[in-house]
Structure 1
Amino acid sequence: MSTNTATSPTTALPDSTGAVSFRARRRRPGMAALGAALIAAGGLGGFLAWQETGERTEVLAVAREVPVGEVVDDADLTVAVVSLDPSLSVLKAADRSEVVGQRAAVALLPGTLLSGGQLTDRPLVKPEEQLVGVGLKPAQLPATRLAAGDVVLVVFTAPEGAPDAERGGEPGPGTAAQQPETVKARVVRVGERQQASGDVVVDVAVPVADGPRLAAQAATGRVALVVDARKGGA
């Protein structure tokens, strides 16, 4: 007796590893070249725009230090090429001939751009004035920053051990109080404060009649500075 065995269709099983195969994408050289060209064009456009706005403004800069009140020489100036912000008020290189011969209204420091507010065509010390340097310790002037043009009183202080009446304190019985001597002055320049001591030298313009007297008193160190007002001149 013979037995017929039926064959069943076989079903393909997935790979037991679960791996999935991908077909590699074909590279399109034309698109890659186009992308590179666009990037290059964008960079070139940015560079040209920077050149247009950042390299064509010639302005005046300070080449060497000019103290307050000194006349500006041609050698004190140099030309800088900068990307100019419209909000900045700086002098153009074409203004060089007009700048030479003016005076520094503030200290001009090398490497800084020059603006019109830093210059003046008026001498900071008038013909009827004298310039006196007054050396001051921190306790002899206000903590408020002084500026050129400030009107001040230079007060003559009494020496140590002087009677109270001379020092401005309460007078003794039967002694009249004495007001300290003062000289009205205008600040011309404030020097750099010494790091160790905090001392500073203030240049002041005073009437010719007061110059020698103030200089003699300042040499003793017995002075103090009082801000009288903030004005452009005395």
Structure 2
Amino acid sequence: MSKTKERTGAATANSVPPQGGVAGPVAPPRVSARRRRPGVIALSLALIAAGGAGVAVLLLQVSNRTQVVTVVRDVQVGQVLTEQDLGKASMALDPAVRVVRADDLESVVGKRAAVELKPGSLLSPSQVTKDALVKSGEQLVPIGLKPEQVPATALIPGQKVQLVHVPGQGTGDTGQAGKPSGSPQETIAGRVVKASPAAPGTGVVVVDVATAATDGPTAAAWMSAGTLRLVLDAPDGS
């Protein structure tokens, strides 16, 4: 054997056997695109829009807040208001709600409470008055009403009433409803100043009624004799 063949055979024996053909370029891994559901996208957009609307509403409410006067202590009917009775608060209000604005606080200090004021409530212009609840030339008569004599309509300060004299039985010749025959019913015009809550146990309500000074003693006498009844006037005072 020739040397050339020996070298060729040795080279063949020492070479690495082929790997089944020539390898081509390696392709990158194939990534499948995730399908996006239209419903999820719509929900996401709706949530984003709702969040933006909520922020807008909050900002609008903050910008529209109003400084108002509040009541911080119990104030009885007729009591003169002081700065210690009042406070301030910032809140969003409906335009239909009538309140005293914080800038007008000084204008209500020194006025009287026309109704009983409770802590935590807003102060409205109708709840204060510059007039004394019992005016010059008037007297205050307390009227005690039994449960069956208390009107179902709430008694509020300023409400006009009539104090009616209803004579008892055995006081003379009487007609219908205890009224003496041929004589007009005696009445006294009055105005509610305050009405107390019903007393525990008895249910009696005491109503402070302002009358003319000349009528006060008569009304008190009727009350003492148990012949007085309280009648509400029409809302317009007629």
- Cα deviation, 1:101-135, whole Å, max 9, x if unaligned, reads 11222222221111112222122221110112111
What is the distance in 2 between the residues matched to 1:216 and 1:201?
16
Partner of 1:218: 223
Q: 1-side partners of 2:179 and 2:168: how far apart?
A: 16
Deviations 1:54-112 (A, max 9, x none): 47422111112222222211111111221222222211111111110112222222211
Partner Cα separation in structure 2 for residue 154 and residue 91 of structure 1: 35
Q: 1:186 to 1:231 in 2, by over 3 A?
A: farther
- 2:166 corresponds to 1:157: yes
**What is the aligned partner in structure 2 of residue 3 from structure 1?**
none
Unaligned runs of 5+ in 1: 1-22
Any unmatched runs of 5+ in structure 2?
1-31
The reply on whether 1:130 has 2:139 as its aligned counterpart is yes
Larger Rg computed on CA atoms: 2
- 1:105 aligned partner: 114
1:20: which partner in 2? Answer: none
Residue 86 to residue 124, structure 1, CA distance change in 2 (3 Å): same
Partner Cα separation in structure 2 for residue 169 and residue 207 of structure 1: 25
Q: Secondary structure at the match of 1:230?
A: coil
CA distance in 1, matches of 2:110, 2:179: 53
For residues 148 and 107 of structure 1, the distance between their equivalents in structure 2, rounded to whole angstroms, comes to: 9
TM-score, normalization: structure 1?
0.67
Give CA deviations for 1:174-204 in whole Å, capped at 9, x if unaligned: xx55555432212222322346544322211
User: How is 1:30-49 mapped onto 2 (pairs within 5 angstroms)?
Assistant: 39=48, 43=51, 46-47=54-55, 49=57
Look up the equivalent residue of 1:53 and give its one-letter code. Q
Separation in 2, partners of 1:97, 1:180: 48
Structure 1 residue 53 and structure 2 residue 58: aligned? no
How far 1:160 moved relative to its partner? 5.4
Are 1:150 and 1:231, in contact at CA under 8 Å, matched by a contact in 2?
Answer: no
Aligned-pair Cα RMSD in Å: 3.5
Range with greater deviation from structure 2 (77-86 or 195-204): 195-204
The 3 A distance-change label for structure 1 pair 45 and 181 is: closer
In structure 2, distance between residues paired with 1:170 and 1:78:
53
- The answer to which structure, 1 or 2, has the higher relative contact order (CA under 8 A, 6+ apart) is 1
1:94 match = 103
AA matched with 1:79: K
Other-structure match for 2:156: 147
Q: What percent identity do the matched residue pairs reach?
A: 44
Partner of 2:213 in structure 1?
208
Secondary structure at the counterpart of residue 218 of structure 1: helix
